[in-house]
Structure 1
């Protein structure tokens, strides 16, 4: 069994990051190369700059890969708007009755 610890840019994400065109990013190096190949206008977006900073911190200072994954995922999904679904079933929170009030 090889007990060598992988560090730096060769470290793998816990789960590969899916890209819009079906490819995936498996390592920190893959993510860094993807970001650097983006068009300049997109590459300079604050979300991508933050993702690259997170990648650098993780690769060079042995941080948690989840931090870099979150940065890349946020940058990839920066144009996705969250929509509140009011059709969901209502919760019971705030409606509980104490045993003495039954």
Structure 2
């Protein structure tokens, strides 16, 4: 009987505390205009040996915010490949 009374007392105390407690709600505010989506931009590279046989493949990628930025980045990658001594042809 003592256990039931003790259990009931804790139960009532729990209900009283639950009713008097404050609930704080945090809002996550993100302005849509500040968020810029990124899209994957890439350059596919095929390496050939001296005989014209394929010796390897590579995919160089980067996240870019616009088509114009992607095209500028691709031009930079192609320029760096040419500067490294590779012959570049676009198919």
The higher relative CO (CA closer than 8 Å, separation ≥ 6) is in 1
Question: TM exceeds 0.5?
Answer: no
**TM-score, structure 1 normalization:** 0.28
